[in-house]
Amino acid sequence: MADQRTTIQVQDHVLIITMTRHNKRNAIDSEMTQALDVALNRLEDEPDLWVAIITGGPDMFCAGTDMAATSGTPTERGGIYGVVGRTRTKPLIAAVEGVAFGGGFEVVMACDMVVAATNARFGLPEVKRGLVATSGAMFRASRVLPLNVAKQVMLTGAELSPADGYRLGLVNELCEPGRALAAALKLAALMTDNAPIAVQQSLQAIDGLASASDAQGWELTAKARKVNMASDDSKEGVAAFFEKRPPTWTGR
């Protein structure tokens, strides 16, 4: 089954979701949000689907929100992008090749496990554009990375290498370029060999503890976004991005 933004495959109880907006580096617009939401609703609703993998193909993962088109309205079941606000009962693996920037990195953080090729590029460049991360990184970055590293990534906008991501525990498995999906399928097979209800209950128990403070995290994210969007710098950062020039910050 295919639509304009994703392709969907099923292989041995595994749902493979591939973002296909490659001419925009898989930047998420409203159609992509809806496509991802439909795919992940299917994961939850079909008993024979036990694990899912989300990937962007062999060249890229996702460059985050389409800043020109926006990512559209958050979905009822999945929230932003149809992904990052979702409560799932089944494991989701990110298979990452190339860029996973901004919201793309936040999609990775919303997954349960991460397989990354050595050419993967992780980053939260929002502060370089006068913006703040609004899709879960405010509270998830410090769960998947040590606190000081999470602060460094978010406050400098600098990239995190896949090797460092593996060393620090963000990445479960590191592989050669072009092999992320294959490696993710092997990881998925280790789970589909197990009893699905046991896997799902284990995941829900772990997530229940880890996500106990999510409501506060979203509240603090909304506050940061509101204050930041009222600033002159946020307007300057976006304008500079579209005009392809260095921004001039004023601190106001």
Q: Which residues of 123-135 are buried (b: 16+ CB within 10 A; e: fewer)?
A: bbbbbbbbbbbbb
What 3-state class would DSSP assign to 115?
strand
Q: Give 247's contacts (C-beta < 8 A, 6+ positions apart).
A: 128, 129, 130, 233, 236, 237, 239, 240, 241
What 3-state class would DSSP assign to 234?
helix
Q: Which residues are catalytic?
A: 106, 126
* Sheet order of strands, 173-175 included: 6-11, 14-19, 51-55, 92-96, 113-117, 173-175
For 148, phi then psi, to 5°, come to -65, -30
CB atoms within 10 A of CB 112: 17
How many CA atoms within 13 Å lie on the side-chain side of 219? 4
Q: Give 42's contacts (C-beta < 8 A, 6+ positions apart).
A: 8, 15, 49
Joined together, the tokens standing for residue 153 give 């990534």
Alpha carbon of 219 to those of 24, 33, 59, 130, 215: distances in Å? Answer: 30, 22, 35, 20, 6
